Structure 1
Amino acid sequence: MADGTGEGGTLRDWMEARLRAELAPARLDVIDESHLHAGHAGARPGGETHYRLDIVAAAFEGRSRVERHRLVNGLLDEAFKRGLHALALRARTPSEAA
């Protein structure tokens, strides 16, 4: 699948670049779990519909869990428009990840 910018590449690559540019994470794992959801709602042949993110960023300091999730979901709004169906998210500060 083409990325959210329409310039080729994968949706995963686009999401990773977007999160790195906006949040400068100390750690970022973007895992495509689409194969685990074959036959479920939102799944498509070729995948790139279900992702798991583990992100550690100072940008989350002082924010609640809900605020962190809203921030990430907002940054990835274009990905949802381009076919991302589900996002499992773990968003921590560097002190929480230590």
Structure 2
Amino acid sequence: MSVAELLENKLREQFCVNFLQVVNESHRHHVPRGSESHFKVTLVSEAFAGQKLIARHRLVNECLNELLEGPIHALALHTYTPEEWQKRAGEAPKTPNCVGS
């Protein structure tokens, strides 16, 4: 199973997911071809209602602790409630280029 699949499975097990997108962005960084080390996660869940951004990220980081200690080097998190996601018209921020790219 790929790292991306493991990441997605863990998030789906932990959160009642309205929307989940896991993007392997390793190719945008200076890593070997085929790496699975840099990810962008967009997660929409009612679990984030009433939570500040840092609390949301802590919840996700706790869920993914094992992967963060191992294969995942970088994780860009975009966490929203369904209402916030709707206001964004279903769009997460674009990822900036890697420094030095």
TM-score grouping bracket, smaller chain normalisation: 0.7 to 0.9
Question: Match of 1:32?
Answer: 24
1:3 alignment counterpart: none
Q: Which runs of 5+ in 2 are unaligned?
A: 87-101
Counterpart-to-counterpart distance in 2, 1:45 and 1:70: 30
Return the alpha-carbon distance in structure 2 between the equivalents of residues 87 and 56 of structure 1: 16
Number of aligned residue pairs: 86
CA distance in structure 1 between the partners assigned to 2:6 and 2:23 by the alignment: 13
Partner in structure 2 of residue 48 of structure 1: 36
Q: Aligned-residue CA RMSD in angstroms?
A: 1.1
- Are 1:96 and 2:65 an aligned pair? no
SS in 2 for 1:83: coil
Which contiguous aligned blocks of 4+ residues in structure 1 show a shift greater than 3 angstroms? none
Q: Secondary structure at the match of 1:19?
A: helix
1:86 aligns with 2:96: no
> Displacement, 1:24?
1.8
Aligned residue identity for 2:53: R
Q: With structure 2 as the length reference, what TM-score do the two structures score?
A: 0.81
Query: Unpaired segments of 5 or more residues in structure 1?
Result: 1-8
Query: Match of 1:14?
Result: 6
